[in-house]
Amino acid sequence: MIVMLVPSPRALTPQTGHFVLTADTALAAPAGVADLVRELLGPATGLPLPDAAAPGPGVIALTVADEPTLGPEGYRLSVTPEGVTAVAHTEAGLRWAVQTLRQLLPAAVFGAAPAPGAEWRVAAAEIEDVPAYAWRGALLDVARWCHPIGFVRRFVDLMAAHKLNTLHLHLTDDQGWRFQVRKYPRLTEVGAYRTESSAGHANEDRRDGVPHGGFYTQDELRDLVAYAARRGVRIMPELDLPGHMQAAIAAYPELGNHPDRQLGVMTYWGISEHVLNNSDATLGVMKDVLDELVEIFPFEIVHIGGDECPTVEWQESEVAQARVRELGLTGVDQLQGWWAAEMAKHLAGHGRRIAVWDELLERGVQSDAVIFGWQGEERVHAALAAGHEVVAAPHTHTYLDYAESDSPDEPLAIRGTTPIEKVYGYRPTPDGLADGPGRVLGVQAQVWSEYVPTPELVEYRTYPRLAALAEVGWSGEGGDVADFRTRLAEHIARLDAAGVNYRPLD
């Protein structure tokens, strides 16, 4: 039997025969990993998969061992007619072994309900697998459209099935604030809802005009973090500042540059010129928000945005000008560097680091910030040349809100066209810049959601292209696209079983 794994493992040697999962199959694994096996294999197989009394025939034995060459996420998996064994240096590695085991089973294992009559065969094979990149991410924009928390969990499930390990949750933007903050309840009471009449001004061709709202409670997000962690997925929250803040300013006008003016949450797409002011009080509010954010999200990196921050209001603001003089800056645009530094300092007190979008490269960012290069491949290169750790996220190859083709049948997209081959062909580590001074942590896909209002459309945009990006991140660059296409044709059956509304292959 040929097994079509996505992403492709580093080494796979098919063996003869197969192991069959039955009602007698038992598990010997660390508790959290055993729970994951039952969560992933239980619903479709209906098998109890109890803890094994002792290792031996008929057992799935997953073991953490001193195997430093497998690194923090690698694993070795062996399937023989007698049983399944996997070893990894960490539990994280074992979790990826479980995802591989799931793909070795019939595609029906991806279903949510028992599949009657199926035989749960696992093809015999020897696999050794280590990811190429430590950061394999996907951004989900829940600010423009707030998707139900259950859908976010499902998004995480599907990420994990492709061995992606980082969900970048874009929680705030001009058009909506989705993170409950105990100290500032209006951020969600007001900032989480937009109506047609709440805009400060109209821009008819980009107006969405549909009332919309919603947010996540801290308890919901805490549960989401735990759910993702069981799958080996960490969540990096983004508090996008000092631009993209109109929803917050609508909730608390004193955060803006015209406190006497009542803005609404923005109801059309594009970039608001209404940005945070540079007062001590506003700085303090954002620090308070970060304090609550880090309580919920344990991941060591917090993304503080920094993209697309118009400075028209700052040009005319006495507070901004005074701050520029006080700090001896060359212009108001450099205030963004000050914001980043202040946020970084505050987060350092919580043992955290910042990540920012690549605009900060020209706006005075400190060297230990992780840069997300989004404005093109050359921005990834610029961040590397400047010595940063970089997550490669160029819109040209990784923006899944762009259409897959220029056919008029594609759902309306914001701009651009990114066919799956282009995603697959992306090279995060450019020749000559691989060995420093900066370092590519990995790659990330972006699912911005202006024109992606429903969960169904999120899946249509995301799959199968996210599978291609996942393979770039896990298996490394330079994979053979024809081989990927062959495996993808089989992989689609798994997405079908999971009920994913993917875009059909061309």
Distances (CA, A) of 314 to 2, 111, 249, 293: 61, 53, 15, 27
What is the smallest separation between the CB atom of 255 and ligand TNX, expressed in angstroms? 19
- Give the 3-state secondary structure percentages of the chain, helix then strand then coil, rounded to 5: 35, 20, 45
The residue within the footprint of ligand TNX, chosen from 19, 96, 448, 463 (CB under 6 A), is 448
What are the tokens at 277? 């002011």
Q: Which is nearer to ligand TNX, 296 or 371 (CB)?
A: 371
Residues 262-301, interacting with ligand TNX (CB under 6 A): none
Q: How many CB atoms lie within 10 A of CB 104?
A: 23
What is the smallest separation between the CB atom of 42 and ligand TNX, expressed in angstroms? 38
268 phi/psi in degrees, rounded to 5? -135, 165
Distance between CA 425 and CA 435 in Å, rounded?
Answer: 21
The residue within the footprint of ligand TNX, chosen from 118, 341, 414, 497 (CB under 6 A), is 414
Residue 450 sits in the site that holds ligand TNX (CB under 6 A) = yes
Distance between CA 37 and CA 480 in Å, rounded?
Answer: 31
Is the bond into 106 cis (omega within 30 degrees of 0)? no
Closest residue by Cα to residue 450 from 275, 249, 210: 210
The residue within the footprint of ligand TNX, chosen from 120, 314, 357, 474 (CB under 6 A), is 357
Q: Which is nearer to ligand TNX, 91 or 307 (CB)?
A: 307
What is the smallest separation between the CB atom of 394 and ligand TNX, expressed in angstroms? 10
Residue 377 sits in the site that holds ligand TNX (CB under 6 A) = no
Closest residue by Cα to residue 502 from 381, 382, 420: 420
Q: Which is nearer to ligand TNX, 73 or 450 (CB)?
A: 450
Size of the site for ligand TNX (CB under 6 A): 9
What is the smallest separation between the CB atom of 393 and ligand TNX, expressed in angstroms? 8
The residue within the footprint of ligand TNX, chosen from 401, 404, 459, 471 (CB under 6 A), is 401
What is the smallest separation between the CB atom of 449 and ligand TNX, expressed in angstroms? 7
Residues 82-111, interacting with ligand TNX (CB under 6 A): none
Q: Which is nearer to ligand TNX, 379 or 494 (CB)?
A: 379
The separation between CA 284 and the C-alpha centre of its own chain, rounded to angstroms, equals: 28
Closest residue by Cα to residue 174 from 251, 117, 230: 251
Q: Which helix (H) or strand (E) holds 449?
A: none
Active site residue 318: no
Q: Are 384 and 390 in contact (CB under 8 A)?
A: yes
Closest residue by Cα to residue 418 from 398, 394, 438: 398
- Give the x/- contact pattern for ligand TNX in 113-132, rule: CB under 6 A: --------------------
The residue within the footprint of ligand TNX, chosen from 307, 313, 490, 496 (CB under 6 A), is 307
What is the smallest separation between the CB atom of 450 and ligand TNX, expressed in angstroms? 6
Q: Are 413 and 108 in contact (CB under 8 A)?
A: no
Q: Which is nearer to ligand TNX, 85 or 172 (CB)?
A: 172
Distance between CA 309 and CA 280 in Å, rounded?
Answer: 19
Q: Which is nearer to ligand TNX, 399 or 463 (CB)?
A: 399
Q: Which is nearer to ligand TNX, 4 or 414 (CB)?
A: 414
Q: Which is nearer to ligand TNX, 129 or 358 (CB)?
A: 358
The residue within the footprint of ligand TNX, chosen from 374, 424, 474, 502 (CB under 6 A), is 374
The DSSP call for residue 238 is E
What type of residue sits at position 388?
H
What is the smallest separation between the CB atom of 357 and ligand TNX, expressed in angstroms? 4
Residue 399 sits in the site that holds ligand TNX (CB under 6 A) = yes
Distance between CA 391 and CA 139 in Å, rounded?
Answer: 12
Q: Which of the following is catalytic: 308, 342, 410, 477?
A: 308
What type of residue sits at position 129?
D
The residue within the footprint of ligand TNX, chosen from 39, 196, 273, 308 (CB under 6 A), is 308
Distances (CA, A) of 311 to 228, 242, 252, 274, 382: 37, 10, 20, 9, 23
What is the smallest separation between the CB atom of 59 and ligand TNX, expressed in angstroms? 48
The DSSP call for residue 90 is S
Residue 451 sits in the site that holds ligand TNX (CB under 6 A) = no
Catalytic center residues: 308
Q: By the criterion CB under 6 A, which residues form the site for ligand TNX? A: 307-308, 357, 374, 399, 401, 414, 448, 450
